[in-house]
Structure 1
Amino acid sequence: MIASRELKRCQEVVNCNLCQTPVSFFCRRCGVNLCDPCVPVHLRVKSEFGHDVVDIGSKDEDDSCSCDAHPNYSCSAYCKSCDVVICILCVSIRHKLHEIIELSSNIKLFKCFSREKNRLQSFKDELEPILNHQDKLLSSFSSIHQRRKNEVTLRGEKLHKQIEETVKKLHQVLDDLKKQYSAALQKQKKGLEEMIEKINEICKTATKLQRSNNIKVMKAFWPVLKGQETLVEIIQYTFPTFHEYEIDEKYTQTYFGYREKIPERKDLLLGKKMEYHIPSYKKNQEGFVIDSGFPSARLYDMTVTDDKKVWMGGQSRDLKLFDLQGHLHRTVTITCTGIYISMHNKQVVFSDNLDKAVKRVSDDDTVVTMFTTGDWRPFGITGSASGDLLICLRKDDQSKVVRYNSTGTVLQEIQYDSQCQTLYQFAWYITENTNGDIIVTDLKRTMAIAVDRLGVYRYSYGGKMRAFGVSKDIDVCSVATDSVGHVIITDFQGDKIHMLNQDGNFLRYIIPHGIELKFPRALCVLDNDKIIVGECMSGLAKIIQFMKKQA
């Protein structure tokens, strides 16, 4: 019924507004439908804005544009004095004594020219404060870097002669960073200056063309004006930081401090104020202990939820959810021992290497199989920034890392390096860093192995290492990363936590005062300044605030 009425309405004939006969023409200025005989009659009627009679089929093909000051009036002239397209009312009021050009056509071109020129001018106005910001950075570089060198030297004076080489090394690093950042800022400054100069030239040319009323040349120049790109983001460089820690003869590098390159970040330009500050950190001695209560006190893995609760897996077929005060919120029975767990889409997932499957715990505490892994047994598991799952797999004496989507489709396999040598003997625990690196601990090699997002080998850490003049094995176990790219590794036999930068270079040990660590295995990051470490043999999870911003 409704369709029938709609069809009938669509088939109705449009009639002339003057005589009610079928319409043939339309007056755009008056909004009146007209038949053939009524057109001359209508044209004789005086109108303040004149008449624009067109074929009824061209009724909606209006090339005119509305005046910005008087939206009910169409633009019909161009004011050279004000560089703006105006209507007839503007001519008689605001622009009465100005130089006016009457426009019979191409009004839209004039208006588009003005709009695009204003866009570029506005963009240039945004770039100029950024350029001033770069000048401030460049002018401060020498003094700030010298200040950092003095801090390093001051720390060196408090230590024994054995750290003098470390001071020289850090000096060189800061000098290299100074050269690197100075060159990058100079390059960025030059690029901004060139872009502003180019925009000025384009705007200048556009203004000349508008005033010349040379439509042909304006049309030829239009792609240049329209095609000039504007930036939506820009790299903001920050100063390097120097981290200080208490001096200890046994752990010189740990307490001396370390330097690291802060990753570059891109900021949206849209009205953002460019600022910089120099953060510093100090150690905090506070901590908190959670007793997981697993049989034989075995705690194997942990993962943190969005609301800062912690799932724990241990020597049982239960997963337990604790808050940070140690209160137990949920206990879920699963199909295997909870050795490898992670968060994915706000639900806890785990590797079941008995069923060779990846499973998740639903909101009603039921266990659901997400997908199977064929002949390969799954071990370490982690969610990635892209929403995929990265899983360590093993079959016989082979190991690899596979990226799956949520339905179990294989997206990527990582098994060999560029020389076709195997990367892993026993891929164990896994995490993804902020720069896309995939870091895996190898149970047999007792080391952490990092590849980039494409699976290309980057670095290894662990195995037989020399630290403070002593050669020792590092019993690499679990691995995690924080939001600035630090890599944190548990040393199971060494009772230590190692912290590396995102390039795999040792920074320091995390040694909490007042908290003893024994056989650390499970590990996850709570915030930028807190980690939670699980002792495998005691079943205790210890929260360590290892970094604290100073006011």
Structure 2
Amino acid sequence: MAYSELQVPDTAQHYLVCGFEDCENNCLFYCNPCHQPLCEQCRDKHEKSPDTRNHEVVSYRHRKNQLPVEKCRDHPTKDIDILCDECNVPLCSKCSTLLVHKGHSFTDLETIYTEITKIMDSIRTFMRDEAKSLKTLVDEVTSDNIEQVNKMEGSIWKMLHSQHKTYHDYICYLDDLVKKFHGYLSSTQLQNNPIIFPLTEHLTIQSIPDTATPIPPEFTAGRYSKEDVVKLLGRITVPQTKPEKTNLKAMEIASTHIKPTGKQMREGRENSDVKQTLSLSSSVTKVREYGVPGVDRIQHITLGKSSSLWVSDYCSNIVQTDQKGNQLQRIHTKDGRYVGNLTITQDGDLIYTDKHNNIINRITLDNTITEFIKTGDWTPLSIHSSRTNGDNLLGMIKEGKGKVTRYNKTGKEIQNIERDNKGQELYSYPHYITENINGDICTSDLIKQAVVVVKKSGQHRFSYTGQGSEFYPRGVCTDRLGHILMCDIYSNTVHLLDQDGQFLCLLLKQQQGAWSPCSVCVDDEDNLIVGQWKTNTVTVYKYLQ
């Protein structure tokens, strides 16, 4: 809108100025590495310069935020730019030289900020990819529907054309009949012939052909809301775990003693101790082997409280044993049907899949069996209860399709994972499932012949398809180092990967007793426990040192 001199408002909005020296043009762009606003002319120069031509220049509204500068209260001339890893406290360079931080390790805040920025960027990219995949699916469905309408329209036109031809042929028949009668009537021999009158009385004319009015199709619009779209695209949420607070007092004088909390020290020691002390052994040693009483053929094993082992079979039995194989208790399911996979919740309850009734049953500490989760039309195959947050992960199938669904502690559905960011189906038969130390969800899929690994958000990381032409993965578990261990019933082996999907070795082979391995777990002493599906045998191996 143009203003006349009298209409010009007495207030004006400030505009951003280009960051180049002596340039006062309006800022439209931003260089992320330089953290500098640019006008259009200076942007062109910036992109042509040998020193900056590879810099990421974006529109100003899409710029990356710069790490804010904060001065140290104890050293006002210094910027707070590092983090003490042991104390979890931001510091300036001078604070880091104090006695209380002697021997501590430090991380540049810019590095932490960059890592967080990368995470946020990856979330944005993933969300855009998900939206793009959904748009592609919408276009495909719309195209299929339009093609179906076109076929229906062609069928109706074909029907109408056939009826038109039928009427046209009948009209031609009547025309020929009329001409024939006119010929008879115009004949001089028949004009006064009385025979013509009884002839007309006995004349038979073909009836009008039957036709039908075509019924056009109707379109029933789908019912959906914004919430339905949100469920398809997913939500961005903050994990329920609260950030750890530091119980540290401000540094009033240089001699102040700063100590990390006991929890911080324990967690730090545990994490570092595991990485420093645990490693793969040069060889695998069999520790013990025993048969599980009361079990026919092993279907699934999971670790219980006090290093006990829970075992399900292909009948209706669930057995708990101690480390030596002595039966602690045996539970016969209420309907006497096949027991699926099982897991122990954070509350100590046992939950297992019931594929015949599409439910998850809970067995409380007093051995009462109750319904916990109803999965509707989806048949549950695999289940794992997270040790970190208590969520329950279910692998399910319906009409040849598979998915992984996350439920919270109370059984409320909170996440569905079905496709990758290209719209391809991730699962066909998610038979066994577990969670890694970094939150990844690891699922063995018998039909896809792969172990599929996705992030906690559901983003596909990688799929492992074995080392040979055939690979039929069954049981899958992880250890404290983030290793992924899986059974291959085709080659009678146990494969070992790192948490990024890199193949490390065939941990167990048939020669080492890996006969028909179907389920695996790692106990509290970092031993690998393997259950055999052809027998009731459980074998324990030492593979870490």
TM norm structure 1: 0.50
Cα distance in 2 for partners of 1:429, 1:276 equals 27
> How much identity, in percent, do the aligned residues show?
25
- Give the residue type in structure 2 aligned to 1:477: R
Partner of 2:490: 493
Change (3 A) 1:275 1:459: closer
Q: Which residue of 2 aligns with 1:511?
A: 508
Structure 1 distance, partners of 2:350, 2:543, is 26
Q: Which runs of 5+ in 2 are unaligned?
A: 1-90, 109-249
- Partner residue, 2:474: 477
Match of 2:535 among 538, 543, 549: 538
Going from structure 1 to structure 2, the CA distance change for 1:477 and 1:274 (only over 3 Å counts) comes to closer
Flag the 1:488–1:203 CA change in 2: closer, same or farther, 3 A.
same
2:381–2:430 CA contact under 8 A, matched in 1: yes
Distance 1:376 1:273 in 2: 42
Compute the RMSD of aligned alpha carbons: 3.6
- Aligned 1:440-479 pairs, distance under 5 A: 440-462=443-465, 465=466, 467=467, 471-479=468-476
Q: 2:366 aligns to what SS in structure 1?
A: coil
Structure 1 residues 332-341 or 314-323, which shifts more?
332-341
Are 1:356 and 2:358 matched, yes or no?
yes
- 1:146-545 aligned at under 5 Å gives the runs 267=268, 281-293=281-293, 297-334=296-333, 335=335, 336-344=337-345, 345-384=347-386, 385-462=388-465, 465=466, 467=467, 471-511=468-508, 515-527=512-524, 529-545=526-542
Deviations 1:512-547 (Å, cap 9, x if unpaired)? 798422111011111353111111012211111122
For 1:451 and 1:339, the matched residues in 2 are separated by: 23
CA distance in 2, matches of 1:273, 1:350: 35
> In structure 1, what is the equivalent of residue 118 of structure 2?
none
Check conservation: 1:317, 1:337, Cα contact below 8 A.
yes
Contact 1:370 1:406 in 2 (8 A): no
| 1:8 equivalent in structure 2 | none
- 128, 141, 153: which is aligned to 2:102? 128
Q: How far did 1:393 drift?
A: 1.4
1:401–1:128 distance in 2 versus 1, CA, 3 Å: same
Residues 414 and 362 of structure 1, relative CA distance in 2, 3 Å threshold: same
Distance 1:528 1:128 in 2: 35
SS for the counterpart of 2:424 is: coil
Cα deviations by residue, 1:28-71 (Å, 9 ceiling, x for unpaired): xxxxxxxxxxxxxxxxxxxxxxxxxxxxxxxxxxxxxxxxxxxx
- Give the match's secondary structure for 1:454: coil
Q: Deviations over 1:393-440 (max 9, x none)?
A: 111122111110132211111011101111111111100000000011
Comparing 120-129 with 472-481, greater Cα deviation is found at 120-129
Closer, same or farther: CA 123–398 of 1 in aligned 2, 3 Å: farther
The AA in structure 1 aligned to 2:339 is G
CA separation of 1:278 and 1:378: change in aligned 2, threshold 3 A: closer
Q: Is the 8 A contact 1:520 1:534 kept in 2?
A: yes
Equivalent pair of 2:470/2:490 in contact (CA under 8 Å): no
- SS in structure 1 of the partner of residue 99 of structure 2: helix
> Structure 1 unaligned runs (5+)?
1-116, 135-198, 205-229, 237-264
| 1:329–1:203 Cα change, 3 Å | closer
Contact kept, 8 Å, 2:320 with 2:330, in 1: the verdict is yes
Q: Relative to structure 1, is the Cα distance of residues 286 and 398 closer, same or farther in structure 2, using a 3 angstrom cutoff?
A: closer
Cα 1:517–1:402 shift into 2, 3 Å: same
Q: Deviations over 1:136-175 (max 9, x none)?
A: xxxxxxxxxxxxxxxxxxxxxxxxxxxxxxxxxxxxxxxx
- In structure 2, do the counterparts of structure 1 residues 422 and 290 end up closer, same or farther at CA, with 3 Å as the change threshold? same
8 Å Cα contact 1:446-1:477 kept in structure 2: no
Q: Is the 8 A contact 1:287 1:515 kept in 2?
A: no
Structure with max Cα Rg: 2
Equivalent residues of 1:482, 1:527 under 8 A apart: no
Deviation at 1:276, TM superposition (A): 9.7
CA contact (8 A) 1:299 1:315 kept: yes
Change (3 A) 1:330 1:132: closer
Q: Please tell me the residue identity of whatever aligns with 1:526.
A: D
Distance 2:376 2:106 in 1: 59
Deviation of the 1:294 alpha carbon = 5.3
Whether the aligned pair in 2 keeps the contact of 1:294 and 1:314 (CA below 8 Å) is no
Q: What amino acid does structure 2 have at the position aligned with 1:303? A: T
Structure 1 residue 362, shift from structure 2 partner: 1.4
Distance of aligned partners of 1:288 and 1:512 in 2 relative to their CA distance in 1, 3 Å threshold? farther
- Summarize the Cα distance change of 1:282–1:402 in structure 2 as closer, same or farther, 3 Å threshold: same
1:368 shift after superposition: 1.2
Q: Distance in 1 between matches of 2:517 and 2:471?
A: 13
What amino acid maps onto 2:384 in structure 1?
Answer: T
TM value normalised by structure 2: 0.50
Whether the 8 Å contact between 2:492 and 2:509 is mirrored in structure 1 is no
In structure 2, the CA distance between the partners of 1:417 and 1:232, relative to structure 1 (3 Å rule), is farther
Give the distance between the partners of 1:308 and 1:365, measured in 2 at CA: 19
Matched residue SS, 1:450: strand
SS at match of 2:523: strand
AA aligned opposite 1:363: L
Task: Look up the equivalent residue of 1:287 and give its one-letter code.
Answer: V
1:128 Cα deviation after fit: 2.4
What is the CA–CA distance in structure 1 between the aligned matches of 2:330 and 2:274, rounded to whole Å? Answer: 47
Amino acid at match of 1:267: G
Aligned twin of 1:80: none
1:370 is matched by which residue type in structure 2?
A: F
